[in-house]
Copies of this chain bind each other. A is one copy, B any other.
Amino acid sequence: MTDQTTIQLHALKLSCSNCSLRELCLPVGLNREEMTQLDAVIRQSRRIKRGEYLFRSGEGFKSMFAVRTGFFKTCVSSQDGREQVTGFLMSGELMGLDGISSNIHGCDAIALEDSEVCELPFGRIESLGRDIPSLQHHFFRLMSREIVRDQNVMLLLGNMKAEERLAAFLLNLSQRLAIRGFAANDFILRMSREEIGSFLGLKLETVSRTLSKFQQQGWIRVDHKHIQLVKPEELKALISGCVHSNAAE
C-alpha cells in the first residue's frame, strides 16, 4: 500500500459522506454530490484530550465544531470564577454557534473525555449554503434547534424543583444516547456532580442527595458515574406537566 493510498483512505474515512453521524449532524438531506462539496470544506478530524479546551470565550470565532466522538461541555464563566455549564454535547452535535453574532466565542468548550471533532469554517459553510439550499436550510434548522433547546433549559431552571430537574436531565441524556444506538437505561456519566449541578442550577450536594433519593425509591441505580434507569416511567411521571416531556434538546 503506497502512502498515496493511505492518505486517500484516511481522507475517506474522515469524510462526511462516510460518517455514521451524517443523519444527525450537518449533512442531513444532502445528495452525493453536495456531500462531496461539503467534505471539501470541512477540516479533518481533530483530537482533543480530556480536560482540554476546544475554544475559549473571548477568542476569535472562525469555525464551529461538530462532535465526532467523545463528549464536551460548554460553559460561561463569570469574573469571580463561578461557572454556568450551558450544555453537554455528544456525537453529531454542534458547538460554537454563539460565536457568529460577534465573531468572538461566547463560551468555553471543554472535552470531558478524549474526543474528536470536525471543524466547520463558518464562512465557507455560509457561502456553500448559497449553492446548496438544503444545506443552508438545515443549518438554519440546527441554529433554531439550539434556540429551542435553550428555551427548554430556561423553563427547567425557572420553573422546576431539584427532583424534576434531575429527572429531566437523566431522561434527556437517556434519549440522546438511545438515538445514537447506545443503551438508554444503562450509561456512564461523563461529567461530575458539580458539572451536573452547574448545568441544572443546583449545588453538587443537592445533585448527590437527589440521586440517592431516586435510588432509595428504586427508580434508578447509582454506582458513582454508572447510572441505570430502573423505572424511567417514574422519572417521566415526575416531569409530566412540566413541559411537553423533553426538556433540554
B150 x A151 contact (CB < 8 A): yes
A63 interfacial contact with B, CB 8 Å: no
Q: Count of chain A residues with Cβ under 8 Å from any Cβ of B?
A: 49
CB neighbours (8 Å) of A147 from chain B are 97-98, 101, 143, 146-147, 150
Encoded as 1 (CB less than 8 Å from any B CB) or 0, chain A from 142 to 157 comes to: 1111111011111101
User: How many angstroms from the CA of A143 to the CA of B126 in the assembled complex?
Assistant: 14
B242 x A82 contact (CB < 8 A): yes
Query: Which of the candidate stretches A35-43, A113-121, A133-141, A175-183 sits at the interface with the other chain?
Result: A133-141
* Segment 49-91 of A: residues with Cβ below 8 Å from B: 76, 78-80, 82, 84, 86
The number of times this chain is found in the oligomer is 2
A212 interfacial contact with B, CB 8 Å: no
Given A84-B159, A127-B133, A155-B84, A99–B144 Cβ distance below 8 Å?
yes
CB neighbours (8 Å) of A155 from chain B are 76, 78, 84, 86
A106 interfacial contact with B, CB 8 Å: yes
Jot down 7 A-B pairs with beta carbons below 8 A, ordered by A: A78-B242, A82-B242, A84-B158, A107-B151, A130-B130, A150-B150, A157-B158
